[in-house]
Amino acid sequence: MDRKTFEYLVSKLFYLTREDTRWRWAIPLNKRIAIALYALGSSAEYRTVASLFGVGRTTVGELVLEVCDAIIHSFHEETFPAYPPTTAKILEITSGFSKLGFPQCYGAVDGCHIEVNVPKTEAVDYYNFKGWHSVVLFAAVDHRYRFTYINVGVPGRSNDSTIFENSALKSLHDSHSLFQQYSKIIDGVNVPILLIGDSAFKLSQNLMKPFPFAINQNEDERLFNYVLSRCRRVVENAFGHLKARFRKIGRGLEVDICNANRIIKACCILHNLCNDHNDTINKSWTAEIKTNTSRPQPQRGLSIKADSQSGTTVRRAIMRYLAAFTVGIENPCM
């Protein structure tokens, strides 16, 4: 986090300031926030952070939750302006994805498993298919790696498709008038503002996924899969940046499950805040998180729900559009 971003954060959280008492001096506001940020950005235990800052271990745990709650309260609306959508946001994000190669896209969706400690009575629900306990951070991400929607806390046993089908995100894309108002005719088909995902999701009019793999797949389908995969990479990169900036998430959260969800949500907001202020992400951080993260992500299975006919029609139209658009240009899939 750049110093200017930190000072902005301190100014917005001014109400966390504490007064000195007759018995002790209060920890200054900037130090309170710095302790919380350091604890989130480091994989060190709270007792190590406490020793570095000259405070008690319990104080570190209390400050982390206090600052996380304040960040959620103060920045949620500011850092997630994409839902409900506005005309300006729709034009900005779809234009960004068009430059990446995919038309009419408002976001890439995916889920990320984060290791947590859970009570034995609930362990079965959080036991994922890789054999460890996790909660799912399900998110939609725009062209600039910003989280536009997050769903935090679903037990790790759940799959991404089920989470999406029951989410407010799907309901908004199914019902909000602006997503239909800014639809475009592509190859004779009315294509609404849509999302993109991997093969784990159900193909629908509002969500595109790749064509199923086939040995003799035709070039148009291969091109569609290539472009979708390249654009969908923004959500994977966003998760990578989140874990690189906040190693506490990358290494697993050793806190109560209810507190884990608060910390994850606050870190997503801080990620967007750093992104909006153009704070750099060091490449060595992302390389380190790839090599030092001990838990592999559960593999995503294929959706068990049948693809919709309208989704198939939209996908075919976009496939033909991409094929026509690359006529005369070297096909990256060849």
pLDDT of residue 170: 94
Least confident of 27-36, 76-85, 238-247, 294-303: 294-303
**Per residue in 241-252, pLDDT tens?**
999 999 888 888
**Per residue in 47-76, pLDDT tens?**
999 999 999 999 999 999 999 999 999 998
Cα separation, 3 vs 294, whole angstroms: 31
Q: Which two tokens stand for residue 236?
A: 């994977």
Q: Is 102 helix (H, G, I), strand (E, B) or coil?
A: coil
Name the strands in the sheet holding 194-196, side by side, starting at the edge strand that comes first in the sequence: 147-155, 134-141, 105-115, 194-196, 207-208
Rg of the chain taking only CA atoms, in angstroms: 22
Cα separation, 5 vs 204, whole angstroms: 40
pLDDT of residue 87: 94
189 φ/ψ angles, rounded to the nearest 5 degrees: -120, 135
The answer, yes or no, to whether residue 306 has pLDDT greater than 90, is no
pLDDT of residue 287: 66
**Per residue in 281-301, pLDDT tens?**
877 766 666 665 556 677 655
pLDDT of residue 333: 46
**Per residue in 262-276, pLDDT tens?**
999 999 999 999 999
Residues 6+ apart with CB under 8 A from 295: 113, 115, 130, 132, 134, 252
Q: Is 191 helix (H, G, I), strand (E, B) or coil?
A: strand
Query: pLDDT category, 302, cuts 50, 70, 90?
Result: low
pTM of the model: 0.89
pLDDT of residue 334: 43
The answer, yes or no, to whether residue 106 has pLDDT greater than 80, is yes
In Å, what is the CA distance from 318 to each residue of 186, 208, 211? 7, 10, 12
Residue ranges of E strands in 105-215? 105-115, 134-141, 147-155, 184-186, 189-191, 194-196, 207-208
Tell me, rounded to whole angstroms, the distance of Cα 21 from its chain centroid: 42
